[in-house]
Amino acid sequence: MEIKVLGTGCPKCKTLEKLTKETVEKLGLDAEVSKVEDIVDIMNYGVMRTPALVINKKVVLSGRIPTEKELTEILTSNNK
């Protein structure tokens, strides 16, 4: 699974990146988590509000930090 956290480096973006990495590890998922900070790359995903979460090239969340439960559900339902 390819996971990207989109954000320019604001505290919320960093929080989402940390939470995503922790949840991936906790669930034991085979996933690569990376951070995209380039505004042009972020805009190419059609994201207008950060932080955003992209799983396998699909935007699954944007503009907010999910709860741990919600993030777990997002990750497990997109684990293909």
Among the options 3, 5, 13, 55, which is catalytic?
Answer: 13
Q: What are the backbone dihedrals phi and psi of residue 57, each rounded to the nearest 5 degrees, phi first?
A: 70, 15
Q: Of 21, 23, 42, 41, nearest to 33 (Cα)?
A: 21
Among 2, 8, 9, 10, the active-site one is 10
3-class state of residue 61 by DSSP: strand
Let me know if 10 is a catalytic residue: yes
* 13 catalytically annotated: yes
Residues marked active site are found at 10, 13
